[in-house]
């Protein structure tokens, strides 16, 4: 795995591996996925799928959803519609 986007996150005594990158729209499947250096880490998130995004200087646990206007948004964050370049990370 490329060390640029894979790292260990320690929370108390628990350690978990995280993959980090930015959100990008994948036109081949119509979903937002996770990119690192223009390579797909995850090709597309489904509704309800969890991830963490950077809001200001804090990582926030969220999930990907689609509203009635068919715009993707991240629950509990200010992000809706164009999610390109939002910094994100997933377990892995």
Ranges of each domain in the chain? 6-91
- This prediction has a pTM of 0.82
Contact between 72 and 82 under an 8 Å Cβ cutoff? The reply is no
66 membership: H or E segment, kind and range: strand 58-66
Contacts of 85 (CB under 8 A, 6+ apart): 22, 23, 24
| 6-91 has CATH 2.60.120.10 classification | no
For every residue of 14-63, DSSP letters joined together read EEEEEEEEEEEEETTTTEEEEEETTEEEES-PPTT-EEEEEETTEEEEEE
Q: Which pLDDT tens digit goes with each residue over 22-78?
A: 999 999 999 999 999 889 999 999 999 999 999 999 999 999 999 999 999 999 999
């Amino acid at each position: 795995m490329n060390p640029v986007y894979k790292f260990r996150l320690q929370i108390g005594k628990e350690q978990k591996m995280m993959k980090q990158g930015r959100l990008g729209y994948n036109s081949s499947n119509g979903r937002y996925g996770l990119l690192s250096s223009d390579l797909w880490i995850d090709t597309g998130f489904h509704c309800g799928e969890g991830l963490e995004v950077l809001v200001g200087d804090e990582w926030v646990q969220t999930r990907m959803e689609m509203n009635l206007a068919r715009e993707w948004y991240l629950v509990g964050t200010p992000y809706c519609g164009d999610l390109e370049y939002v910094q994100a990370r997933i377990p892995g």
